[in-house]
Amino acid sequence: MRVFLAEDDAALRKQLVQFLGSLLGVDIVGEAAIQQDATDWLDAHPADWDLALVDLFLASGNGFTVLRHWPGARRGRRWC
């Protein structure tokens, strides 16, 4: 499973990357710390991920805007 991660807390993001990366079959394909970087990455990689883990309260922007921004969320993608 290809996972995209949007989390502004660097320590938590690092822990999530380490934990998820240790799971069999999980590949972290992208990371973002702010809303703009998350939406830019999702726009640039529409078919390169299976699951997006998005923090709702980002340092700059928020996860709700990330979810609303990307129309592919309505095409069977999973969000957490």
pLDDT category, 46, cuts 50, 70, 90? confident
Task: Give the chain's domains with CATH numbers.
Answer: 2-79 (3.40.50.2300)
pLDDT greater than 80 at residue 79? no
Ranges assigned E (strand) in the chain: 2-6, 27-32, 51-54, 78-79
Q: Is the pTM of this model over 0.85?
A: no
Q: What is the pLDDT of residue 53?
A: 93
Q: Express as a percent the part of the chain with pLDDT over 90.
A: 64
